[in-house]
Amino acid sequence: MTKTETIQSSSVVASFHALADPLRLKVVELLKDQELCVCDLCELLNVSQSKLSFHLKTLREAGLARGRQEGRWIYYSLNLPQFVVLEQFISEFRRSSPILPTRICSDEALHPSK
């Protein structure tokens, strides 16, 4: 594995870890359409700033979110290039795996009878 592949692999692992938490997924959903101040996120999610700060730090460290300070507040937005990395990682399975169908034709394919 090359150094670039190792860095990308670490990035993907950190991103999936960050997205594995329900509160962080809610943050991502809220940031999908707009930049939001941490105070707005606290209010919308009904969580304390200290709890939210931990989750925002995790999203930032995974490269999924960015923070921009304006005065005493930090405004958060999504780092869309990292979502592209995840999308490419997932789409690689569809392109290279012989066991995945190109499309699912019915519910039966998802839930075969026993």
What's the mean pLDDT when you consider all of the chain?
Answer: 85
In a domain, 104, yes or no: no
In a domain, 17, yes or no: yes
CA separation, residue 92 to residues 5, 8, 16, 88, 110 (Å): 14, 14, 16, 6, 20
Q: What is the pLDDT of residues 79-107, one digit of tens each?
A: 999 999 999 988 887 777 666 555 555 55
pLDDT of residue 2: 57
The H-or-E segment that residue 76 falls in is: strand 73-78
In a domain, 96, yes or no: no
In a domain, 111, yes or no: no
pLDDT of residue 1: 56
In a domain, 22, yes or no: yes
In a domain, 64, yes or no: yes
**pTM for the full model?**
0.76
- Residue 19's domain comprises 3-90
